[in-house]
């Protein structure tokens, strides 16, 4: 779909706003326009507790003068409102002297796309509630120990238009649909939880490929299995991470450290290491915003640059970082399509899209069989990382013992503690069963954006500590 199929603003108006933004000596000016509609439904304890919809529409204007950036946003998309925001941003950038000259805007053909075969906005709310009720009923049918079920449905339709003084004029049409189920099981060991979710950059056709009762069954199974689980061990262990569910570790433990803004600040353990061996030769790490339908995918980033498949670590060697427009300009290179923002009210920054470890050649069964003693982690939960040191901690939401080369007893939740570079170097097996994990929201400097991550089965021979409660 050509850019002019997203008529958020007239091209001539955009041109005049950019010119006004440059009048106080700006080196670079940008207009970001967004129109986002969303809806959600929440079912808790068998009752619909929330059924909402909303719309947010506005523009953010950025002006750059040397190292100084001015920014203003407005919900008034009239030309008068936009010009006022442009003057405010220009004043905040504290430029002086003659203004810069903007290049002619050139629409980027073919960037925008509609990713929904069935637009969620055209689906009756009653149909969405039916999905919640079906998930609730199936989860409760798995056993009387399931005492609480929470199911959530959400969708969004986001149209954006980006134009800047370099002549960029591009747009995108992004539809995302999400469904999640959380279950609580109660027993002699107290309450245990399980969760499952699916989210894609598609429309309501998501449910043609994903059965909500299957999602609910998986969430209930996880909760029930922990009732009879033993406490997680404590101390350093060999760890095998299953396909899909461990991708968040690479997102947090090394992905953020490969974002060019943190590298430039010296806040990354990977700063100054371009061309060095930073991981096992089995490790190839990629960030790819072009993955069709994945949660972090889009045609363009929030600076109007086409998304790309960016290889960050190749066979263990650091070969690139992720870049936004300003960091790329300062370094004399092309942007990588990683400039992202939460909304028109926020400045863009370097962010991941879909980050994953490329699959290897080993059989997953052989990886487990070759592990005499360790822990198998099927799913990791939330975590945090110190990008300057690479130290991280994650929650293990589904894990099992490995004994004599076999996956045996389930473990209660515990923590996984380690260091990103050390873990990368200690990967000694990578499976051929690559899978993307659950949809996520990445937080950075107060902003959240949708991201995806994935891994095949892999083994970390050393350097990971399980923070459990077993003696």
Residue 114: predicted pLDDT? 61
Domain end among 166, 192, 227: 227
Residue reference for tokens 């919809």 = 53
Asked if 37 contacts 176 with a C-beta cutoff of 8 angstroms, the reply is no
Residue 1: predicted pLDDT? 34
- The answer to whether residue 408 scores a pLDDT higher than 80 is yes
Residues 246 and 220 in one domain: no
Residues 241 and 217 in one domain: no
Residue reference for tokens 């279950």 = 183
Task: Quote the strand ranges of 75-167, DSSP E.
Answer: 106-107, 146-164
Residue 4: predicted pLDDT? 39
Residues 66 and 157 in one domain: yes
- The answer to whether residue 469 scores a pLDDT higher than 50 is yes
pLDDT tier at 189, thresholds 50, 70, 90: confident
Asked if 225 contacts 231 with a C-beta cutoff of 8 angstroms, the reply is no
Residue 15: predicted pLDDT? 96
Q: How many angstroms separate the CA atoms of 423 and 402, rounded?
A: 19
- The answer to whether residue 25 scores a pLDDT higher than 90 is no
Q: How many angstroms separate the CA atoms of 89 and 302, rounded?
A: 18
- The lowest-confidence range among 95-109, 259-273, 289-303, 370-384 is 95-109
Residues 44 and 170 in one domain: yes
Residue reference for tokens 């637009």 = 119
Residues 221 and 254 in one domain: no
Residues 64-104 pLDDT 10s: 998 899 999 999 999 999 999 999 999 999 765 555 677 78
Domain end among 194, 227, 260: 227
Residues 222 and 238 in one domain: no
Residues 305 and 434 in one domain: yes
The CATH number covering residue 71 comes to 3.30.2290.10
* Residues forming a β-bridge with 431: 362
Q: Is the pTM of this model over 0.85?
A: yes
Residues 134-160 pLDDT 10s: 999 999 999 899 999 999 999 999 999
* Residue range of the domain that includes 244: 234-467
CA angle 174, 179, 182 (to 5 degrees): 150
Residues 327-357 pLDDT 10s: 999 999 999 999 999 999 999 999 999 999 9
The separation between CA 261 and the C-alpha centre of its own chain, rounded to angstroms, equals 17
Asked if 36 contacts 56 with a C-beta cutoff of 8 angstroms, the reply is yes
Domain end among 199, 227, 255: 227
The separation between CA 324 and the C-alpha centre of its own chain, rounded to angstroms, equals 16
Residues 33 and 93 in one domain: yes
Q: How many angstroms separate the CA atoms of 120 and 118, rounded?
A: 6
**Domain total in the chain:** 2
Residues 285 and 370 in one domain: yes
- The answer to whether residue 2 scores a pLDDT higher than 90 is no
- Among residues 284, 425, 294, the alpha carbon closest in space to that of 360 is found at 284
Supply the mean pLDDT for the chain: 93
Residues 238 and 192 in one domain: no
Residues 20 and 80 in one domain: yes
The SS3 call for residue 236 is strand
Residues 218 and 245 in one domain: no
pLDDT tier at 106, thresholds 50, 70, 90: confident
Residue 378: predicted pLDDT? 95
Q: How many angstroms separate the CA atoms of 218 and 226, rounded?
A: 13
> What percentage of the chain exceeds 70 in pLDDT?
95
Q: How many angstroms separate the CA atoms of 456 and 174, rounded?
A: 28
Q: What is the dihedral of CA 81, 82, 85, 90, to 10 degrees?
A: -140
């Amino acid at each position: 779909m050509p850019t002019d199929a997203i008529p958020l603003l007239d091209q001539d108006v955009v041109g005049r706003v950019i010119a006004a933004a440059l009048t106080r000596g700006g080196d670079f000016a940008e207009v970001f326009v967004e129109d986002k509609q969303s809806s959600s439904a929440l079912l808790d304890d068998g009752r619909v507790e929330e059924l909402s919809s909303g719309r947010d529409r506005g523009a953010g204007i950025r002006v750059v003068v040397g190292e100084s950036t001015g920014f203003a946003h407005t919900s008034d998309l009239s030309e008068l409102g936009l010009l006022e925001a442009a003057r405010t941003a220009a004043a905040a950038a504290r430029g002086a002297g003659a203004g810069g000259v903007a290049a002619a805007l050139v629409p980027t053909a073919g960037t925008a796309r509609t990713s929904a075969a069935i637009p969620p906005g055209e689906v009756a709310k009653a149909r969405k509630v039916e999905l919640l009720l079906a998930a609730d009923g199936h989860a409760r049918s798995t056993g009387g120990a399931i005492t609480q079920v929470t199911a959530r449905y959400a969708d969004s339709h986001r149209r954006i238009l980006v134009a800047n003084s370099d002549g960029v004029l591009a747009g995108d049409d992004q539809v995302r649909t999400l469904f999640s189920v959380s279950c609580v099981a109660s027993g002699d060991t107290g309450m245990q939880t399980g969760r499952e979710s699916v989210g894609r950059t598609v429309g309501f056709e998501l449910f043609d490929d994903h059965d909500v009762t299957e999602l609910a069954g998986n969430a209930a199974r996880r909760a029930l299995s922990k009732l009879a689980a033993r406490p997680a061990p404590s101390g350093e262990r060999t760890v095998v991470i299953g396909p899909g569910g461990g991708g968040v570790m690479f997102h947090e433990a090394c992905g953020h450290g490969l974002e060019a803004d943190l590298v430039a600040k010296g806040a990354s353990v990977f700063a100054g290491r371009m061309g060095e061996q930073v991981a096992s030769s089995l490790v190839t790490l990629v960030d790819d915003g072009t993955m069709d339908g994945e949660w972090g995918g889009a045609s363009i980033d929030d600076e109007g640059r086409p998304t790309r498949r960016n290889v960050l670590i190749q066979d263990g060697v650091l070969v690139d970082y992720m870049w936004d427009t300003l960091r790329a300009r300062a370094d004399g290179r092309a942007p990588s399509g990683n400039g992202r923002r939460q909304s028109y009210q926020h400045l863009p920054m370097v962010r991941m899209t879909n980050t994953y470890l490329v699959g290897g050649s080993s059989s997953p069964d052989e990886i487990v069989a070759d592990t005499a003693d360790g822990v198998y982690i099927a799913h990791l939960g939330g975590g945090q990382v110190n990008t300057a040191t690479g130290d991280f901690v994650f929650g293990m939401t589904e894990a099992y013992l490995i004994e004599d080369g076999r996956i045996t007893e389930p473990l209660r939740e515990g923590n996984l503690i380690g260091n990103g570079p050390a873990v990368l170097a200690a990967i000694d097996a990578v499976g051929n069963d690559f899978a993307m994990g659950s949809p996520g929201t990445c937080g950075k400097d107060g902003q959240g954006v949708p991201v995806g991550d994935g891994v095949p089965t892999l083994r970390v021979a050393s350097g990971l500590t399980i923070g459990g409660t077993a003696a």
